[in-house]
Structure 1
């Protein structure tokens, strides 16, 4: 966690030290991917951190090390895990117990430049809700000379996963890997529709690709008003409000492939704890985990970052204080989460052992699909390559 989110996390650590007298020493490691790589290496060397923050995408890969202890066994006995929002806790619960501590959780939303919409004759209070409407708005923005492109987002697997989830489509068999070892990657009709739209947007200059995993570059295109729409995490709310000094930013629900809106997949990360530490150390870690779940701490984290509060008491407190009424941008992702069908397995993010490899294939092949003369053949090639990755890992 860097930037404003890192500053808020440091503030939380300082509060923990003030309350308990124990210092929480945190190390910034640049990205989720680097944390994963460094943690796996630390397991091999025996020099792993007391806690580590890993992207939900890599959950199964962490479990498969066999070197983590469920946080349910570390939290104080009087800790009530039912305080977590159901559709958050479900993902992080395995074999009936909380395996890692939810903390910075999110889903993808759309940000718009209200000034650009108005300049193009579009209604910022009625932003696009489907991909077809995004194309129409993008065409107007570009034709009117308001922005160079209509929309951008980082080329990251999470956005593809989110489109699957809203359509109610599974990415793999075994209910996205939650009920067994997956072997099949699904490419249903809506995904062909997605890539047809994506390619058409690129071909017609209505979308620009900022690069693979290019979070900062995508945000810069929006801040510099090269594009009037941006798909990214709700965790960007606070930063975008701070950085959009020359225009008014607003947030809207994620645009869907069709009119179907089953629900988003969860994003963000959770805290894992390694096995093999002294009992006294687990007691201390348990205190920190409990502290980070306190309503007041979750409220501080939410307001300072934009990640939604993931405990019901913190949500209730914010609603009672009128926070969401005064700051509706912060409510978009939370409503999107709670309006989703948490019982549908498609809204559970895929739990794959070779998640990093699958992620890389989808991101690389997305570029090939968008640039291809025949996108369908490239989608078929992506499916075959992912199934090869799954087979190699699980066999």
Structure 2
């Protein structure tokens, strides 16, 4: 049983979706691009004296084991609210597909009451003006967020307001083959912390046969744009201008920063020197290289930890995502998705019922079940003390690394992540520049600059559609 594997974006759909978002927004009116309806948070009194249960349709991207765990939580909530609220979960495909479906639903005026949208869709969701800001519910109910993970609140807070509710979130880690480390005389409890240290360890971990062919590489990971964002956050540099789009709407991406160029050059040298296996952009290939023993170290989401443990014939270790170089501040970017409550076109009862369900999902009890069953972070940090989470941590102490990394992360605009309407397209562009540098004679600085410059038109068109 594979646990905690996050839905990935499909590059073929990401660019097409990003290119079409402006068409939807240009047809909207209202303060933030929506139709200008009442987007306030109703109080609990609207659920009194109901003639029938309030129906809440919940669009999400959780399938397989993750979907089963989510279905169990929905069933528990419905049982506790029988005759009052009835939540129906509806799988909408991967993150890109789900957002495309929601975009179509907005055009048709038939949105679900509650939608799960991945992190890259945050600016778009704000610009549509269809949802009730999460902050409205917090303020109306005096909801205490002190136990909610600070790094997650930081990411989804824009202009001082929490815009959506973090839920299925993760962060990337360094994974190591503990058996290989011990065989090479390395300490698996102290995995490499910088790129230089990874290379040093890879020189000892790489194994060749008598003919000089590599049997096991020291390192191997996919060319995944999320990792670029992570390296930049840990180096304390912004991904886009306007303080990562937090103080002003972003007008350009900055992933041609010297820190990124240094990382791409390091990556290419590792491949050329036979210390790292060349993976490409398919994340499944990167995961397979590690679980098969082909690469002794890799980078992947915390959501992959459960699968790594179950699919590997060796003991899996985990450490913090590496720094570009020693002395970097060491922030951490989150991934995954958050929950948005649609207000436009929905009754006060439906809006309030959706909030009641979200509150249930954020309880320590629900978060304990969610974290233990999927490997996603416990949004409510008290969830780690739950029976299910503690049993999971006792069996697999590697799960604690992700929580520790977030707890140690700096909270600022760089770790908040770039807020931009075409983030899906930006991530794909970063991957294209990165891969070009790895597979051609194009210098890393030139490849990354060309990729960044190539986004200018898309950013300008998107911004023009919402200004």
Whether the 8 Å contact between 1:372 and 1:378 is mirrored in structure 2 is no
Deviations 1:124-147 (A, max 9, x none): 222111112212222332235685
Work out which of the residue numbers 236, 249, 254 in structure 2 matches 1:168. 236
- 1:320 shift after superposition: 11
* Aligned pairs for 1:122-271 within 5 A: 122-144=186-208, 147-186=215-254, 187-212=256-281, 214-244=282-312, 246-259=313-326, 260-271=328-339
Aligned partners of 1:203, 1:386: CA distance in 2, in Å? 29
Aligned partners of 2:101, 2:225: CA distance in 1, in Å? 21
The match for 2:95 is 32
In structure 2, the CA distance between the partners of 1:318 and 1:168, relative to structure 1 (3 Å rule), is farther
Aligned partners of 2:159, 2:418: CA distance in 1, in Å? 16
The match for 2:410 is 341
Aligned partners of 1:179, 1:56: CA distance in 2, in Å? 18
SS in 1 for 2:219: strand
Whether the 8 Å contact between 1:239 and 1:305 is mirrored in structure 2 is no
Aligned partners of 1:335, 1:18: CA distance in 2, in Å? 35
Aligned partners of 1:185, 1:90: CA distance in 2, in Å? 20
Aligned partners of 1:319, 1:11: CA distance in 2, in Å? 14
Deviations 1:347-386 (A, max 9, x none): 1111101112212211112111222322222122122113
Most deviating of 97-106 and 179-188: 179-188
SS in 2 for 1:68: coil
Most deviating of 32-41 and 3-12: 3-12
Work out which of the residue numbers 29, 52, 71 in structure 2 matches 1:10. 71
* Aligned pairs for 1:25-64 within 5 A: 25-64=88-127
Aligned partners of 1:202, 1:57: CA distance in 2, in Å? 30
Deviations 1:316-368 (A, max 9, x none): 557996875664211111111111111x3211111101112212211112111
The match for 2:349 is 280
Most deviating of 105-114 and 157-166: 105-114
Q: TM-score w.r.t. structure 2 length?
A: 0.78
Deviations 1:137-180 (A, max 9, x none): 22332235685333333332211000000000111111111111
Aligned partners of 1:324, 1:42: CA distance in 2, in Å? 40
In structure 2, the CA distance between the partners of 1:7 and 1:215, relative to structure 1 (3 Å rule), is farther
Aligned partners of 1:322, 1:39: CA distance in 2, in Å? 37
SS in 2 for 1:332: helix
Aligned partners of 2:108, 2:222: CA distance in 1, in Å? 34
Q: Structure 1 regions of 5+ residues with no counterpart?
A: none
Q: How many residues align?
A: 392
Whether the 8 Å contact between 2:268 and 2:438 is mirrored in structure 1 is yes
Whether the 8 Å contact between 2:189 and 2:317 is mirrored in structure 1 is no
Q: TM-score w.r.t. structure 1 length?
A: 0.91
Aligned partners of 2:425, 2:353: CA distance in 1, in Å? 35
In structure 2, the CA distance between the partners of 1:327 and 1:261, relative to structure 1 (3 Å rule), is farther
Aligned partners of 1:189, 1:117: CA distance in 2, in Å? 31
In structure 2, the CA distance between the partners of 1:32 and 1:267, relative to structure 1 (3 Å rule), is same
Aligned partners of 1:30, 1:153: CA distance in 2, in Å? 25
The match for 1:313 is 382
Aligned partners of 1:113, 1:279: CA distance in 2, in Å? 52
Work out which of the residue numbers 57, 70, 90 in structure 1 matches 2:154. 90
Across the aligned residues of Structure 1 and Structure 2, the Cα RMSD in angstroms comes to 2.4
- 1:65 shift after superposition: 1.7
SS in 2 for 1:25: strand
Q: Structure 2 regions of 5+ residues with no counterpart?
A: 1-61
Aligned partners of 1:248, 1:218: CA distance in 2, in Å? 18
Aligned partners of 2:387, 2:160: CA distance in 1, in Å? 30
- 1:221 shift after superposition: 1.9
Alignment pair present for 1:380 and 2:443 = no
The match for 2:181 is 117
